[in-house]
Amino acid sequence: MAHTIRDKEKLIARVRRIKGQIEGIERALAAEAPCGEVLRQVASVRGAMNGLTSELFDDHLRAHVLEAASDADREHGAQELMGIVRTYLK
Amino acid sequence: MAHTIRDKEKLIARVRRIKGQIEGIERALAAEAPCGEVLRQVASVRGAMNGLTSELFDDHLRAHVLEAASDADREHGAQELMGIVRTYLK
Amino acid sequence: MAHTIRDKEKLIARVRRIKGQIEGIERALAAEAPCGEVLRQVASVRGAMNGLTSELFDDHLRAHVLEAASDADREHGAQELMGIVRTYLK
Amino acid sequence: MAHTIRDKEKLIARVRRIKGQIEGIERALAAEAPCGEVLRQVASVRGAMNGLTSELFDDHLRAHVLEAASDADREHGAQELMGIVRTYLK
């Protein structure tokens, strides 16, 4: 997926931070933290997931559409993006 | 925007249907229709706007990225899509 | 729906502004405005619809849950809100 | 947060499943899985987070609004929900 070693490390670090946030929600639930606090942590994960999605979208558009090796690859990369966008806009 | 006459007519018809739905919300508010009903009409416009966005996204990706006249145009078309996706994933 | 005359006028004015934005999209499509511009107008309607939804949600929660006339009405008002939230989080 | 022992266990199990999905994304990135596959896993976490949010919203509305101990508590519980909804509809 990641298109350079540097991107790969950066994306994995980003996903690990999200995992840390999820573990925070698990702990908050176990400790019976106030409802409003848990809902705010959940909203915060949503923001982080949106940022990750946006980065993956850009990477994909760059690697599999702009820099596609052939017209067929470019068409295929574009079809995947359309499918993803449809999922989010359902 | 529309990349063929046929697409243009189809998109305009779609936008007019959404305008009709908005006028329905205006009438429901004026007639003091039940709250829950108005909220459902609003959710329905959201769905229709999402469908329109998805179609515009596909058209743009096709006309300004896949079928771009030059590499510079393709890069510019892709940058616009990334900007739109970031807006939706904020 | 609107729970006071003042709220009703304000909500209707808000819906009319959204209708004006939709008509702007229709004109942009008819005039073959650039793709990116149409997509930005669509994103802007989405923002305005979200603001309207948020206001309707608050009004509903206040009128049909907080200030419900009976426990049964309050339960019913809450069920409607849960249904709306589920629609948005699908 | 969880309003009964049973709810608490159920919510924690749900959050752990989401953590498992996040770990799947981490592994996919490390293994350089195809882009489209990673984007689909991310969309799937989004769906699971939406389901969790919807459940937390219902629990909060029930425990802190419908079954609030006082009018002041009920007002406070409702204010928290309005804040959350505004975050999601920004």
Q: By the CB < 8 Å criterion, does B65 face chain A?
A: yes
Contact (CB<8Å) C82/D57 = yes
Q: By the CB < 8 Å criterion, does C82 face chain B?
A: no
The pLDDT, as a whole number, for residue A30 is 95
With contacts defined as CB-CB under 8 Å, which chain C residues touch B55? none
Residues whose CB is less than 8 angstroms from the CB of residue D80 and which lie 6 or more positions away in sequence, other chains included: A35, A36, A39, D60, D64
Question: Which pair of tokens denotes residue D21?
Answer: 């999905």
Q: By the CB < 8 Å criterion, does B73 face chain A?
A: no
Q: By the CB < 8 Å criterion, does D49 face chain A?
A: yes
With contacts defined as CB-CB under 8 Å, which chain C residues touch B60? 35-36, 39
Q: Rounded distance, CA C87 to CA D54, Å?
A: 10
Q: How confident is the model at residue B2 (pLDDT cuts 50, 70, 90)?
A: low
Q: Rounded distance, CA A84 to CA A75, Å?
A: 14
pLDDT per residue over B34-59, tens digit each? 988 999 999 999 999 999 999 999 99
Q: By the CB < 8 Å criterion, does A34 face chain D?
A: yes
Contact (CB<8Å) A74/B57 = no
Q: Rounded distance, CA A53 to CA A56, Å?
A: 5
With contacts defined as CB-CB under 8 Å, which chain C residues touch B53? 39, 42-43, 46
Q: Rounded distance, CA A62 to CA C62, Å?
A: 48
Q: Rounded distance, CA B82 to CA B66, Å?
A: 15
pLDDT higher than 90, residue A7: no
pLDDT higher than 60, residue B1: no
pLDDT per residue over A61-79, tens digit each? 999 999 999 999 999 999 9
With contacts defined as CB-CB under 8 Å, which chain D residues touch C62? 78
- Mean pLDDT rounded to a whole number for chain A: 93
Q: What percent of chain A has pLDDT over 90?
A: 83
Q: How confident is the model at residue A2 (pLDDT cuts 50, 70, 90)?
A: low
- Mean pLDDT score, C22-36: 94
The pLDDT, as a whole number, for residue D23 is 98
The pLDDT, as a whole number, for residue B4 is 72
pLDDT per residue over D23-76, tens digit each? 999 999 999 999 889 999 999 999 999 999 999 999 999 999 999 999 999 999
CATH class of D5-88: mainly alpha
- Mean pLDDT score, A30-51: 94
Q: By the CB < 8 Å criterion, does A67 face chain B?
A: no
ipTM field: 0.88
* Chains contacting chain B through 3 or more C-beta pairs under 8 A: A, C
pLDDT higher than 70, residue D2: no
- Mean pLDDT score, C4-10: 84
The pLDDT, as a whole number, for residue C10 is 93
Question: Which pair of tokens denotes residue D24?
Answer: 């799947």
The pLDDT, as a whole number, for residue D5 is 75
pLDDT higher than 60, residue D1: no
Among residues D44, A85, C51, which one has the least CA distance to residue B89?
A85
- Mean pLDDT rounded to a whole number for chain B: 93
The pLDDT, as a whole number, for residue C1 is 55
CB contact at 8 A, A57 and A84: yes
Domain boundaries in chain D?
5-88
Q: What percent of chain C has pLDDT over 90?
A: 84
With contacts defined as CB-CB under 8 Å, which chain C residues touch B11? 29
Residues whose CB is less than 8 angstroms from the CB of residue B61 and which lie 6 or more positions away in sequence, other chains included: A65, A78, A81, A82, B77, B81
